[in-house]
Amino acid sequence: MLTANNLYFNYPTSRPVLKAINLELKPGNIYGLFGKNGEGKSTLIKIMTGLLFPKAGNCTFKGKPTQKRGPELLQDIFLIPEEFELPSVSIKAFEYINSVFYPSFSKEQFYGLLEEFQLQPRQLISTLSFGQKKKVLIAFGIATNTQLLLMDEPTNGLDIPSKSQFRKVMASSVDEGKCIVVSTHQVRDLHSLINHVMILNNAQVIFDHSLDQVTQALWFGRASNQEEVIYSEGAFGGKSLLQRTDQDESEVDLELLFNGVLHETQKINQLIDKKGHGSKV
């Protein structure tokens, strides 16, 4: 669906933000794009939408370069940016003026999601809090029913109940034809939502595996034998990341996985690749 080939990017007079990025996004998946602050997650998302142009390499969506920003392409891509400002109109007017550009837009779904988020269509967007504005945009983005939905730090500005509301809404919105990319540095917010993890570090993708592959190769829990531990966070109750051998499948601890990958990139990637299931989802 979306492919990045040997992508390079840097802002004027700055170090490279992205180096030799190779990615392939496939429909039916919810990708979690993780990375520390300033690692290029937002930049990558903007390149995927065609809002930034790669310095080298290319990014294509359905075989066409995204930087052309063709309407036929953008009808199937929706971006929820981290920072945004919505116009001073009612939610209903916002839907009215923007939905016409998306052929698969579902008004029923949009107003259903607004209800879920406890927002009224007649409310003026300018009177809403940032979190509520984000909910309007999330509802709109889901209702566009684009094949690719890109979300940059969608949980920023949401309170705790809204974060679980977000997860619930997202889980019910994904189908086989859609691909969702959620970029965040708050790894825990995506618990039980994503099925594929991508991690950016030092301007490169250092980890790109499905959660199935992760659970096949790794085990999360308390280690009985410290020698088997790949990575451990002693300060947080001693939860560790181990190579899975004969243990039952464990629930993936995204935060532990993220920190583990940052510390033991090569070892973890080798373990997953060695497990032989190799086929990346």
Partner 1 sequence: MVQRFDFNRVRQFVKRDLILLRGTFSTGIFVAIILVFLFCLFNMMWDKQLGLEEFYGIFALVYLPLGLLFTFSLFREFGNPKTNALYLALPVSSLERLVAKWLVSTLVYTIVFSVVALLIAILALIFGIVLFGADFNVPTLFSTSYINIVAIYLFVQPVFMVGAMSFSKNKIGKTLLSLGIALLCFLLLNFLLYAMFNHSLGVFAEDGLGSVAFGKASTQFSIFGQWFYGLIFGPLMLVVAYFKMVEKEV
Binding site for partner 1 (CB under 8 A): 46, 49-53, 64-65, 68-75, 77-79, 81, 83-89, 93, 96-98, 100-102
Nearest approach in angstroms of CB 72 to partner 1 is 7
- Complex with partner 1: residue 46 or 196, whichever CB lies closer: 46
Nearest approach in angstroms of CB 210 to partner 1 is 28
Nearest approach in angstroms of CB 193 to partner 1 is 23
On whether the CB atoms of residues 244 and 218 are closer than 8 A, the answer is yes
Rounded CA-CA distance 144/106 in Å is 6
- Complex with partner 1: residue 102 or 231, whichever CB lies closer: 102
CA distances from 14 to 11, 22, 53, 138, 152 (A): 5, 21, 15, 32, 22
- Complex with partner 1: residue 49 or 132, whichever CB lies closer: 49
Nearest approach in angstroms of CB 50 to partner 1 is 8
Nearest approach in angstroms of CB 118 to partner 1 is 23
